[in-house]
Chain A
Amino acid sequence: MINALAYPADLFSRSFVMILFMWVFFQLWRVTYGSTGQESISGLTLKDTLWYLMIAETVILSKPRLGREISTQVKDGSVAYLLNKPYNFLLYQLSVSIGETLMRMVVNLVFGGAIVWLAVGPPPQMPAGLIVFPAILLAWLVDFCMVALIGLFAFVIEDVSAFEWIYSKLVLVLGGVLLPLDFFPDWLRTASLSLPFAYTTYAPARLFVEPTLEGAMALIGGQLAWLAILGLLLAFVFNRGMQHLVINGG
């Protein structure tokens, strides 16, 4: 967290991106809702949609680029200095990134929230919407597992940038970052909800605008299930990766 505070210009430049996106989204959805003449589309009002997009963007813009970090450490051999320390390598990566992530989240929530509040009014469901915070934490953990898995592929193929790229696009589209899954055709929504990507962005954003017990059970339940599956897979791949590790340089 202190690291993130050391570069305030970087933090605020990210908030500029947030302001820009939310303002463009407001213009797009204001006109779209206006042209359909409906107050609610697939159960989401204009206010819901914008607050949904604000949370989804916050989750995406706040998370650190961890996959590249891990693959760089594997490629340049610096992973050797971390592996022989008396702590778990994966938990170390998680703890290093979480402080920075939290700082970015606060800045994005403040700036993004301010724009959306000014545009469409306060969040639709408060204080029940506060359930978003555990959902965001779980979303980051699910994301961490997938990103770390990709980073660890560097033990085998060294350059993992193509996998990172594919993953980011899958989250962008099937995770509902640009468009809530509720607006998808039925078949695509069903497919998206059965994949882990939706639980990194859609789950917290949707819960924020409609924090019902039923929704929480389904979405947080989905997050926990994917966390368990991906966590186990990550532990397995990490142990296997250690057997493939070749340290370059001295």
Chain B
Amino acid sequence: MHIKSELRFLSALWRANFLSLMEYRASFIMAVFGMMLNNAAYFIFWFIFFDRFEKVQGWGLSDMFVLFGSVASAFGLSVFLFGNVHFLADIIAGGRLDYYLSLPRPVLLHSLASRSSASGLGDFIYGFISFLLAGQFTVDAMGRFLLGMLLGAVVFVSFQVIAQSLAFWVGNASMIAAQASNAIVTFALYPLTLFDGTAKLILFTVIPAAFIGAVPAEFVRAFSLDRLILMVAGAITMLSLAVFMFYRGLRRYESGSAIQVQV
């Protein structure tokens, strides 16, 4: 009953965010298509690269389509549904959590879902196009892509919440969090086979980019129970850490006592 009520609340928030974005329809459409074009322009790099080298460590152009698609959709879904994931540190440091604390809803969920990034929808859609360009037209491949993308989005949001929550301890953490976001997306866009042992360990722990890019992409290529367990375990661990870190930090939160208007 409790979960059902929170889900209803979340869907109402998302609906309100969407309507708010649609208020400026032209700029919404420009942001969505602009981001899709942006991704396509970046991907030209891989076209030229694989035209020259064909395969690198077993990875070819179609694998890169899947990898890029997984990362773009996971990232896009994260920032479209939880747009404040990049602004949480500013909200904490600016004392703007007061608003969320004063309402009878989960503070973390409410604050994250109170904003929606239009360009995120562009990333999300482009991810599917990229996946389809890989030529994987079977239902089970699509199912694996969806599952991998959802678990990747959980890892991305959780990782950002952990980085942004540092604001409870260090004050201005937005730059650290922005760099953390840069790092995880950059590493996620490359095949795991490029990296050696130590680097791989980092990509599964400190910067868990493997859970957003390479592991879901390999899972799409071929079903593997081990990979599925790894992805689910990674998502649960990251989510638990994020919730723990945020609520631990919240005990240190000091209200700004500023008068705020939420629009």
Contacts and interface: CB of A to CB of B under 8 A. Distances in A.
Contacts of B34: 162, 165
Contact of A173 (B45, B53, B179, B186): B45
B44 interface: yes
B37 to A, nearest CB: 8
Interface in A157-214: 162, 165, 169, 172-173, 178-179, 183-185, 188
B114 to A, nearest CB: 26
B179 A31 contact: no
Interface in B18-64: 30, 34, 38, 41-42, 44-45, 48-49, 51-53, 55-57
Interface string A23-62: 0100110011001100000000000000000000000000
A16 interface: yes
A21 B186 contact: yes
B179 A183 contact: no
A192 B4 CA distance: 57
Given A27-B194, A169-B41, A32 B48 contact: no
A24 B187 contact: yes
A169 B190 contact: no
A20 interface: yes
A13 interface: yes
Closest 4 CB pairs of A and B: A169-B41, A27-B194, A178-B45, A173-B44
B199 A179 contact: no
B186 A24 contact: yes
Main secondary structure of the interface of A (DSSP, over half): helix
Contacts of B53: 32, 35-36
B190 A24 contact: yes
A172 B183 CA distance: 19
A185 B195 CA distance: 28
B48 A20 contact: no
B244 to A, nearest CB: 26
Contacts of B56: 28, 31-32, 35
- Give the most central of B34, B56, B175: most A CB within 10 Å: B56
Interface residues of A, number: 25
B179 A179 contact: no
- Give the most central of B42, B182, B194: most A CB within 10 Å: B194
A127 B87 CA distance: 46
A172 B41 contact: yes
A17 interface: yes
A118 interface: no
Nearest to A17: B182
Contacts of B237: none
A169 to B, nearest CB: 4
A35 B55 contact: yes
Interface string A6-25: 00011001001100110010
B178 interface: yes
B199 A27 contact: yes
Contacts of A17: 179, 182
Given A20-B183, A162-B30, A179-B48, 9 more contacts: A13-B178, A16-B179, A20-B182, A27-B199, A28-B190, A31-B56, A162-B34, A169-B38, A185-B48
